[in-house]
């Protein structure tokens, strides 16, 4: 439409601007005077437009424009005075006649056609709202394989049967074996559940239909169920395929737990999914995989055999898995000679694959920030501190009295961690404010721990109480800096008494109560399963254990008072010291056992100060 309009405008403008020819234009009255004087040799008159082309007796040509439909009287004069007169009475062309009328009509037709196309597109979007939003990855099948999934050898071995079935279905059908229809990947966020599902599709060489649980839900009633039907129909058209539903807990939660009743849209979507999973046979070559980090809230009908037959746990990576994951994420990055990835893997317990990827990227950012062209060991150290403890709070300026109290607080934690036999090895102590803390004491386990022994737990309680007790021992009072320590110690002691059977008074009983998660109205009001008398006994046991460990902590810090002072003074001087330096200062403090302890200034900090 715009091209047509531009062409017409250009034609009108050019016709008005460009000259019609090389002839000279004259005024019509001058032309009549020249005719009367006999100076004109020849004229050609267009009787429709009044345009006149002529030639003088001298041989020069000219043009002029008279009135349209020239009068007969004027024509008679021209014939008398001009030797050669020619009148052109040609009819106007069809385009010249109808173009002024057709142009606006054409523009109106084009406008209504454009409006109709837009309306059809909107109606098509509404009519296709029930179609599945799954993304089919058929051209990227070789893109992800088990080689791209570092570690997790046990997980890969457990789901390799699915790959073998999709590759060689006849081998299983020959002996009547039935492959699991559904595989549920369960694990914490960031452990690579989606990557493993894509690797299964890549290994098997089949299309991979990926959709998230939230894609089924819409504001219109019945849309979720319609999309489920369309998803399975699309998979059947592909023959052998893998349907992957990420975050399935958004539509697979327990039915009947909400406040909306059976007509709830989410429940209808789940009902349709259950029916579709029963609707295809294992021999069809369709395998459904799903991922969630909340298996406890899934509907039991979804987990029964015949639907999700198998649950594969994808846990947080162990130390060997973390080492393999780090190898993947450092590809293409320049590493310094001082980096030992085994040390980095040991110092990152509890980190998922996504956390490790972020750690490597943060280390690279620290290297760029310092202007070096490779990643150093100190960059990994800074990145780990940034991830675990938060960014340095450069704007926080402590007074000398507050800084001294924070130093003794962290020194108390550090001394307990270094002296107690069952705690994790001390890694570093810092009084640089990070995140929400004014100081940090970091310990790193020598190996991954899956069971917590009683000796380890009580030593951890002593370490948690070390900061508060150091303040009380040195300054004679306490501050609000121990708030987080007390909260963690109370929570840990409560688990010892209520859940782990580590109290002689309670005995081998677990009093966990109703600890289920609240969702859609289920368990809104939690109820405990023990009496008030039992609750009183539990509270008494928690208090007893904490007070016993507080006495142990006071005695330990009293015995190592010289070492406590040396560690605190070193922190005030250097702000950050490592575990080896703390051990050296404690040994030096033993040699000075007979020397009087260094007395700090008897000052306190405001109540709003926050420490480790």
Sequence length of the chain is: 612
Q: What CA dihedral angle connects 501, 507, 513 and 517, to 10 degrees?
A: 10
Q: Rounded to the nearest 5°, which phi and psi values hold at 533?
A: -65, -40
Residue 161 appears among annotated catalytic residues: no
The kind and range of the H/E element at 41 are strand 40-46
What is the number of alpha carbons within 13 Å of residue 81 lying toward its C-beta?
19
- Token pair belonging to 137: 């990855």
Other Cβ atoms less than 10 A from the Cβ of 307: the count is 19
Give the SS3 label for residue 103: helix
Angle at 334 (CA atoms; ends 329, 338), nearest 5 degrees: 100
Using the Cα atoms of residue 251, residue 255, residue 261 and residue 267 in order, give the sign of their dihedral.
positive
Long-range contacts of range 518-524, CB-CB < 8 Å, 24 or more positions apart?
519/253, 519/257, 519/297, 520/253, 520/257, 520/258, 520/259, 520/260, 521/257, 521/258, 521/259, 522/254, 522/257, 522/258
Residue labelled with tokens 């370490």: 463
Cα-based distances in Å from 186 to 241, 294, 312: 21, 8, 6
What is the number of alpha carbons within 13 Å of residue 490 lying toward its C-beta?
9
What is the number of alpha carbons within 13 Å of residue 263 lying toward its C-beta?
2
The kind and range of the H/E element at 400 are helix 400-419
Contact call for residues 245 and 287 (beta carbons, < 8 A): no
Give the SS3 label for residue 219: coil
Angle at 231 (CA atoms; ends 229, 235), nearest 5 degrees: 115
Residue 51's DSSP bridge partners are 65
From the list 184, 204, 203, 206, the residue with the least C-alpha distance to 137 is 206
From the list 296, 289, 308, 332, the residue with the least C-alpha distance to 195 is 289
Burial 84-102 (b: 16+ CB within 10 A, else e): ebeeeeeeeeeeeeeeeee
Burial of 417 (0-12, 13-18, 19+ CB in 10 A): buried
Contact call for residues 46 and 75 (beta carbons, < 8 A): no
Active-site entry in 404, 410, 471, 541 = 410
Burial of 68 (0-12, 13-18, 19+ CB in 10 A): exposed
Other Cβ atoms less than 10 A from the Cβ of 351: the count is 22
From the list 301, 310, 312, the residue with the least C-alpha distance to 185 is 312
Residue labelled with tokens 């030593």: 459
Contact call for residues 280 and 232 (beta carbons, < 8 A): yes
- Token pair belonging to 612: 């480790």
Using the Cα atoms of residue 54, residue 56, residue 62 and residue 67 in order, give the sign of their dihedral.
negative
What residues act catalytically?
410
């Amino acid at each position: 439409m715009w091209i047509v309009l531009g062409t017409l405008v250009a034609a009108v403008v050019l016709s008005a601007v460009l000259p019609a020819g090389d002839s000279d234009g004259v005024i019509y009255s001058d032309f009549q005077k020249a005719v009367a004087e006999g100076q004109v040799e020849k004229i050609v008159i267009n009787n429709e437009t009044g345009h006149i082309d002529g030639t003088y007796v001298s041989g020069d040509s000219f043009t002029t424009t008279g009135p349209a439909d020239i009068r007969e009287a004027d024509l008679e004069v021209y014939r008398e005075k001009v030797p050669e007169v020619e009148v052109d009475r040609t009819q106007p062309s069809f385009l010249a006649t109808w173009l002024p009328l057709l142009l606006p009509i054409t523009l109106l037709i084009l406008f209504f056609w454009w409006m109709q196309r837009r309306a059809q597109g909107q109606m098509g979007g509404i009519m296709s709202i029930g179609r599945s939003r799954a993304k089919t990855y058929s051209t990227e099948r070789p893109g992800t394989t088990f080689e791209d999934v570092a570690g997790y050898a046990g997980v890969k071995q457990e789901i390799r049967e699915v790959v073998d079935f999709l590759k060689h279905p006849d081998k299983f059908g020959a002996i009547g074996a039935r492959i699991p229809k559904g595989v549920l990947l369960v694990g914490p966020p960031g452990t690579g559940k989606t990557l493993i599902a894509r690797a299964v599709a890549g290994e098997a060489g089949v299309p991979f239909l990926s959709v998230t649980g939230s894609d089924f839900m819409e504001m219109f009633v019945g849309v979720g169920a319609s999309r489920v039907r369309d998803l399975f129909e699309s998979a059947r058209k592909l023959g052998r395929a893998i349907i992957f539903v990420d975050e399935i807990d958004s539509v697979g939660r327990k039915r009947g737990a909400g406040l909306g009743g059976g007509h709830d849209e989410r429940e209808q979507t789940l009902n349709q999914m259950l029916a579709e999973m029963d609707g295809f046979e294992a021999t069809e070559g369709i395998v459904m995989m799903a991922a969630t980090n909340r298996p406890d809230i899934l509907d039991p009908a979804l987990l029964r055999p015949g639907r999700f037959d198998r649950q594969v746990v994808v846990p947080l990576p162990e130390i060997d898995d973390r080492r393999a994951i780090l190898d993947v994420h450092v590809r293409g990055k320049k590493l310094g000679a001082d980096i030992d990835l085994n040390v980095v893997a040991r110092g990152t317990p509890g980190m998922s694959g996504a956390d490790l990827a972020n750690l490597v990227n943060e280390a690279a950012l620290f290297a760029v920030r310092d202007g070096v062209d490779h990643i150093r060991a100190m960059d990994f150290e800074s990145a780990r501190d940034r991830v675990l403890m938060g960014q340095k709070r450069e704007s926080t300026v402590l007074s000398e009295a507050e800084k001294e109290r924070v130093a003794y607080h962290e020194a108390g934690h550090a001394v307990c961690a270094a002296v107690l036999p069952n705690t994790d090895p001390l890694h570093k102590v810092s009084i640089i404010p990070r995140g929400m803390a004014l100081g940090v004491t970091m310990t790193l386990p020598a190996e991954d721990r899956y069971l917590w022994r009683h000796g380890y737990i009580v030593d951890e309680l002593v370490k948690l109480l070390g900061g508060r007790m150091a303040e009380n021992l040195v300054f004679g009072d306490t501050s609000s800096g121990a708030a987080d320590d007390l909260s963690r110690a109370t929570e840990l002691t409560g688990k010892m008494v209520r859940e782990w059977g580590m109290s002689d008074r309670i005995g081998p009983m677990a009093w966990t109560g109703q600890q289920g998660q609240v969702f859609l109205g289920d368990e809104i009001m939690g109820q405990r399963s023990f009496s008030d008398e039992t609750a009183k006994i539990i509270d008494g046991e928690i208090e007893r254990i904490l007070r016993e460990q507080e006495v142990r902590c006071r005695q330990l810090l009293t015995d190592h008072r010289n070492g406590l002072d040396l560690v605190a003074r070193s922190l005030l001087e250097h702000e950050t010291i490592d575990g080896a330096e703390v051990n050296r200062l404690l040994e030096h403090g033993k040699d000075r056992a007979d020397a009087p302890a260094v007395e700090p200034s008897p000052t306190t900090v405001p109540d709003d100060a926050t420490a480790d």
